[in-house]
Amino acid sequence: MKFTILSLFPEILEGFFNSSIMSRAVKNNLVEYNFVNIRDFAFDKHRTCDDAPYGGGAGMVMKAEPLAAALDSVNAGQTRTVYMSPSGKKLDQKLSLELSGEKEIVIICGRYEGIDQRIIDLYVDDEISIGDYVISSGEVAALVLVDSVYRLCEGVITKESLEEESFQNALLEYPHYTRPEVFQGRGVPDILLSGHHAKIEKWRLKKQLEKTLANRPDLLESGQLSDEAEKMLNEMVIQEEGPNGYN
Ligand code: SAH
C-alpha cells in the first residue's frame, strides 16, 4: 500500500513513518510513502500557496495552481484521491477497511481555511473528516487516516489482534491488564489469572457488552452482533430492567 501525501509541512509527517509499527511495515515493504511539498510547485517569486478568499471573509485559502501541479506530478487523476476536511464524510472502521484495499491513495492536507473548491471538484474522490471538530492542520488528520488504514493491510498486524479490537463485531473492546498483578492496591480480575480460556472469553464478551452499552449503545443496533453476544445482551438487559422491562 502506498500513501502519497501532499502537504505544506511534510516534516510533521516524518516522525510517524519513522517510528514503531509503521517503520517496520515500511522496512518490510508492506507500506510505501511519498511526501510531496506543495510549495515546491508554487512558481511565483514568493512561492505563494495561499490567497484571500473571493467574496471576502476571514483567513486564507490554499491556491489551486500549486496544488494542481503537485497532484499532476503524482498522477492523482489515476489514483484514489482524498482531501482531509471537517465537512467530509466521517471516517469509520468500515471506510478504513475499504481504503486498505487500494494499492495507493493520494491524500491532500489542508491548512488555513482549506483549499480552493475547484481542486475538490477536479481531483478529489473522497472528502474525509476525522470527527465533528476543527483542527488547524490537515497533516494531523491525514495521519489519523493513514494509521487507521495501514494497520488493516495484510501482514502489518496479526489477524488475531485485529479480530479482537473495538468496532469489530460492532462492539468496543474489553479491558486489558498486564503485570504487576497488584497496582496501587488494585488487583487483576481473578478470572484472567484462572487459565480457563472459555470462561475468560465469556467474561471478555460480557465486558465488551457492558462497555458498549454504557459508551456507545448506538453500535448495538447495527444488527452485527453474534448470536452469543445477542443472547448475553438480552440476559443483561433483563437482569437490569426486570422481565417486563422495568423493576
Ligand atoms: N475552514 C474550515 C476548517 C479549516 S481547518 C471549515 O470550517 O470547515 C484547516 C485544515 O485542517 C482543513 O483544510 C483540513 O485539511 C484539516 N481539518 C481540520 N479539521 C478536520 C477534520 N475534522 N477532519 C479532517 N480534516 C480536518
- Predicted local distance difference test score (pLDDT) of residue 245: 52
- Predicted local distance difference test score (pLDDT) of residue 165: 86
Domain 2-159 superfamily per CATH: SPOUT methyltransferase, trefoil knot domain (3.40.1280.10)
Among protein residues, the one whose CA lies closest to atom 16 of ligand 1: 138
- Predicted local distance difference test score (pLDDT) of residue 244: 62
Coil, helix or strand at residue 4: strand
Q: Is 24 left (phi over 0), alpha (psi -120 to 50) or beta?
A: alpha
| Alpha carbon distance 122, 113 (integer Å) | 19
C-alpha separations of 35 from 9, 73, 232, 242 in Å: 10, 12, 48, 58
Region 142-167: mean pLDDT is: 93
The reply to whether omega before 180 is within 30° of 0 (cis) is yes
Region 173-192: mean pLDDT is: 98
Region 102-111: mean pLDDT is: 98
> Is the Cβ atom of 144 under 6 angstroms away from ligand 1?
no
> Is the Cβ atom of 135 under 6 angstroms away from ligand 1?
yes
Give the chain's mean pLDDT.
95
CATH topology of domain 182-241: Trp Operon Repressor; Chain A (1.10.1270)
Report the separation in Å between the CA atom of 115 and the middle of ligand 1, taken as the mean of its atom positions.
10
> Is the Cβ atom of 89 under 6 angstroms away from ligand 1?
no
Give the start-to-end residue ranges of the domains of the chain.
2-159, 182-241
